[in-house]
């Protein structure tokens, strides 16, 4: 496995379900990110973890709950979502503090909330 992987690639859930998105990075980076990508909108940063501690939380509703058990894994726990939460959820990683702090993205999870 190389780069940043995400599972599942597609998820359909009802508003009362609980599910989790998983991200794994194989790049030895020290920071991981969750983004939401909706059509015709800029990528929206949701959460940032640096050295396994949450450093940013951009006013994301509490129905999204991140977890970073170690520097290689990142989860996004979902519960009681709304149809407007349907989007592509992207995970990224970077070596924070380095030159340019380039972010490397996974393929995303396409989430549909019914």
CB contact at 8 A, 69 and 24: no
Please identify, using beta-carbon distances, which residue of 15 and 55 lies nearer to another protein.
55
Which positions ≥6 away from 93 have C-beta within 8 Å?
A: 4, 25, 27, 29, 31, 32, 33, 103, 104
Minimal distance, residue 49 CB to another protein, in Å: 13
Nearer to another protein (CB atom), residue 81 or residue 92: 92
**Which CB atom, from 4 or from 81, has the smaller least distance to another protein?**
4
Alpha-carbon distance of 41 to 57, in angstroms, equals 19
Q: How many CA atoms lie within 13 A of 110 on its CB side?
A: 3
CB of 53 to another protein, least distance (A): 14
Binding site for another protein (CB under 8 A): 4, 6, 40-43, 45, 48, 56, 90, 92, 96-97, 99-108
CB 32 → another protein: shortest distance, Å?
Answer: 13
């Amino acid at each position: 496995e190389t780069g940043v992987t995400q599972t599942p690639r597609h998820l359909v859930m009802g508003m009362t379900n609980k599910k989790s998105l998983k991200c794994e990075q194989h790049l030895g980076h020290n920071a991981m990110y969750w983004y939401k990508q909706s059509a015709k909108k800029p990528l929206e940063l949701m959460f940032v973890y640096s050295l396994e501690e949450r450093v940013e939380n951009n006013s994301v509703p509490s129905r999204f709950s991140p977890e970073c058990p170690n520097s290689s894994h990142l989860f996004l726990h979902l519960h009681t979502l709304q149809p407007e939460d349907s989007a592509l959820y992207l995970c990224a990683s970077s070596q924070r503090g380095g030159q340019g702090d380039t972010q490397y993205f996974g393929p995303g999870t396409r989430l549909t909330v019914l």
